[in-house]
Amino acid sequence: MTTQIKHQIGLLIYPGMTQLDITGPHQVFSLMPDTRVLLLWKTLEPVTSSEGMTILPTATFKDCPPLDVLCVPGGSIGQVEMMQDMEVLEFLKQQGKTAKYITSVCTGSLILAAAGLLQGYRAACHWAFRNQLEMLGVEVGCERVVVDRDRITGGGVTAGIDFGLVLAGKLCGEETAKMIQLLLEYNPAPPFNAGSPETAGEILVDRVQKFGEKLILTLLETTKQTALRLGLCR
């Protein structure tokens, strides 16, 4: 008997993405009943994340069916390129016209905003880039997961699992989402209370910002150019 697919979820993958932004939600989605998960890129050639993990696309933009859920991960330098890649942005726009939910993890929200899909919405982003998301006409939320109508966005990196469970609850019901959480034994108990700028303290926040200064400044310049292209500033 053929299983009926009720939910088509498409995850954009691209060179230089953050792998956990994809693999965290994918782990959740893979346990959802009657769900098909597609890993999307321009070609079927292997894609390498910023951490060096190689991931194989399962469908191209050209062959991608209409999606129920469109999901965009964040990344490092790859993120900068995606915000300026008109082929990628056009694909997101077209899928965004019919998708039931338009979603992202970490700085993937900046890519959605670059495609014009988050203006007028409230959304999450990695804490170090929230000001840049605001520059693109988006109301920034500091929660782990932000839900605003048909937009569901996760905060930085590890928030992708929380995001995945929220989406699972909306598509499959709360009980199914709870079962998935238990199957994954998702019960975070980090060894240090340093997982957010509010708890980490100013000294550690400053160190992290200096560590990622090159990316932050590069992405800031790209965000300014994107805001100009979208007519959001002069």
HEC string for 134-203: HHCCCEECCCCEEEECCEEEECCCCHHHHHHHHHHHHHHCHHHHHHHHHHCCCCCCCCCCCCCHHHHCHH
Task: Give catalytic residues, as residue numbers.
Answer: 106
Amino acid in position 74: G
Both structure tokens of 213: 């200064």
Neighbours of 133 (CB within 10 A): 24
Amino acid in position 121: Y
Amino acid in position 203: I
- Please tell me the distance from the alpha carbon of residue 227 to that of residue 207, in angstroms, as a whole number: 28
The SS3 assignment for 106 reads: coil
User: What is the full DSSP assignment across 43-81?
Assistant: SSS-EE-TTS-EE--SEETTTPPPPSEEEE--BSHHHHH
Helices vs strands, H then E, count in the chain:
10, 11
Please answer whether residues 82 and 99 qualify as being in contact, where contact means their C-beta atoms are separated by less than 8 angstroms.
no
Return the biggest CA–CA distance within the chain: 59
